[in-house]
Amino acid sequence: MTVKILAVGDVCGTSGLDFLHRTLKNYKAQNGIDFCVVNGENANVVGVTPKQCDSILRAGADVVTLGNHTWTRWELQPYLDESRRVIRPANFAPQCPGAGDVVINADFGKVEVINLIGKFGLDANTDNPFVVVDTILQEPGAGIILVDFHAEATSEKVAMGHFLDGRVSAVWGTHTHVQTSDAMVLPNGTGYITDLGMTGPIHSVIGVAPEQSIGKFLGDPPRRYDPASGPCKLEGCVFEVDVDTGKCMSAEHIRLK
């Protein structure tokens, strides 16, 4: 028996969240998706609020993952201690609120979702993600294990994929918001893609209004990011996984407009 796992790229701004609501449930129903993980890192453009996390879950996510903007909204801290299905990177310091992995009892069996954040190029005081995930995997988890690696460097993401090949069902990258064309099954049976892409405005600079982003590169004073307007897209990847072995059988990137 195989199941289909959908991983959805970073939700960006109100328009991205609205587009997720308009498309996700229909896509899941029409394509036989059995489990869905959505990165909610940028639903508030920078960070995400508890209300927005709840909205992503209502839209059809089984688990919401986060990233480097986890602590941007202070009100998320008590929420993370209360919400089982919203997780933050596991390699944040252990005293931080919330959890970095969760085991969900799905209809077809147990699914473990692990959230990690990269060290290269991200200004975050975190533990080594390779060491942390290795420790997590020493404990009994689930037959299907999924990893969202929120990282800047493609080399760090690819290295993580090979590090976990044969040990987890799928590894995908988030954070850079540009979908890569390398969806594949690694040699030992782990599904992989370097970056899922994003869910938000098509004509944008990774979700931000182009004129503002251009101004930043020209030297304008910093200010809060403004989301771009216009039509949206949903990007992600579908992994088909054998329930008995936990091995990935296929990986295919998707884009909905």
Catalytic annotation, residues: 69
**Rounded to an integer, what distance in angstroms lies between the CA atom of residue 176 and that of residue 124?**
16
